[in-house]
Amino acid sequence: MRTRNPLVAPELREMLASGDSQALRHFCESVHPASAAELVSALSGEEAWGVLRHTDMSLRAEIFSHLDRDFQVEIIEILHRGAIARLLAEMSADDRADLFKHLPEELRESVLPAMAHVEREDIRRLVAYEEGTAGAVMTSDYATLSPELTASQAIEHLREVAPDAETIYYAYVIDGQRRLLGFVSLKDLILARRGARISDIMHGEAIFARVQDDQEDAARKIRKYDLIALPVVNDDDVLMGIITHDDAMDIITQEHTEDMEKFMAIAGSHEDAVYMRSSAWRHFKNRSIWVFVLALFGLVSGYIIQSFEGMLLQLVILTTFIPMLADTGGNTGSQSATLVVRALALKEVSPRDFRRVLAKEFQVAILLALMLGVVAFGRVLLFGAGSTVPEGVSLGMIAMAVSVALGVQVVVATLVGALMPLLVSKLNRDPAVIASPALTTIVDITGLLIFFATVKLMLGI
């Protein structure tokens, strides 16, 4: 992600202007690549590359990998074919494939022929997986071992592959067809007798993801089992790649942002839209869809009010309760929806728990309804004193009707809020699509109907 750091940018610009390549190299080497990336992000694409150019290829690629993707593309577009190919060659397999996917079509086609055969094939293989799957986020830079090796041979092998592997702390044991047999950790290898066979010390438990699995499920496995990396296999159990713990953390964070945005009725995927780098027009597009649809739905509540114009004319005081009724329904409904959406996301409940969740929400709703009913009753008595009421209707009766309506509305809104994510989840869709604003609009409609029906029934107007 790109944050401006106003303190370092001018100094870097000065070094660039004076062509002080030693100072620039020293800058790149003296801070962590993630920090260097953050600092050069304050510069233009051309300037940033001007800084990175002064360090060696491998560090350059590492800093570059920490830039946010839009900025990476911006830089790539000012480089020539050969430089792009060399940079991509140095990047880790997953970062490279991810960047490649987001390059403009013509650039992709011109760069591929400039790359070595192995890397070209590696990119082709990785970009083939659908966005959002485990295959699309895995890397092919992993270490494998054959089961016949001894512990000391395995350590020797890991030492050799270490410079190219994303991690050597887990090594995957495969057979002649590259089918996954298990894994050993470097800790296991160090603790084992030098002559111990890999097949004897490896963990054979099947914790893995399939290439087509949801990336979030894969990340969740890494979290659940406290893994450093998770192997990803195809349908024939052939090892295709690994997902590392740091990528899992990024996936979890990104999915959370997307869930929250979805839940607040904002379209678009967060990955493509870092806040400040998105244009106002893009923000508008992401936000306007739902707002527009919900405004149209607002027609329904308007229509309901219009149909009860006569009642409102007789008893204008009723109008003053409409906002409280709408808000309270929206609030209680959104609360239960939030809790159920998160509980589903964390696998604390599953759609199978349908009845238990509804039973729990019903109890909570009754308590909330009682509390809010009392508030509404008091409110009518306190503030309705000056109002004109039609003959045969007392303020106490109005207070009773408003309380009952609010209570019923709270129960309905809470249950609807809990029910909708459960239903969506049952259909194997992400429960966060139950946007809180949509829910609010729905319970507005139920609220008005409940309100007018209750008043009609209890006051006979």
* 368 counts as binding a second copy under rule CB under 8 A: yes
Q: How far is the CB of 187 from a second copy (least distance, A)?
A: 6
In the bound state with a second copy, the residue whose beta carbon lies nearer, of 16 and 91, is 91
In the bound state with a second copy, the residue whose beta carbon lies nearer, of 8 and 448, is 448
* 25 counts as binding a second copy under rule CB under 8 A: no
* 439 counts as binding a second copy under rule CB under 8 A: no
Q: Give the binding range for a second copy (CB under 8 A) out of 46-54, 171-179, 439-447, 451-459.
A: 439-447
Residues 82-101 that bind a second copy (CB under 8 A): none
Angle, in degrees to the nearest 10, between helices 9-17 and 45-52: 70
Q: Collect contacts of 194-198 with beta carbons under 8 A, ≥24 apart.
A: 194/150, 194/151, 194/152, 195/150, 195/151, 195/152, 196/150, 196/151, 197/147, 197/148, 197/149, 197/150, 198/145, 198/146, 198/147, 198/148, 198/149, 198/150, 198/151, 198/154, 198/173
Among 257, 381, 394, 426, binds a second copy (CB under 8 A): 257
The alpha carbons of the chain give a radius of gyration, in whole angstroms, of 30
393: left (phi over 0), alpha (psi -120 to 50) or beta: beta
In the bound state with a second copy, the residue whose beta carbon lies nearer, of 89 and 228, is 228
Residues 205-234 that bind a second copy (CB under 8 A): 205, 207, 222-228
Among 108, 217, 245, 351, binds a second copy (CB under 8 A): 245
Q: φ and ψ at 240, to 5 degrees?
A: -110, -25
* 397 counts as binding a second copy under rule CB under 8 A: no
* 311 counts as binding a second copy under rule CB under 8 A: no
Spatial neighbors of 276 by CB under 8 A, at least 6 apart, are 2
Q: How far is the CB of 326 from a second copy (least distance, A)?
A: 6
Angle at 190 between CA 186 and CA 195, to 5 degrees: 115
Among 58, 124, 187, 394, binds a second copy (CB under 8 A): 187
DSSP symbol at 130: P
Residues 138-177 that bind a second copy (CB under 8 A): 155, 158-159, 162-163, 168-169
**Contact pattern from residue 274 through residue 303 relative to a second copy, giving x for each residue in contact according to CB under 8 A and a dash for the rest:** xxx---xx-xx--xx-xxx-xxx-xx-xxx
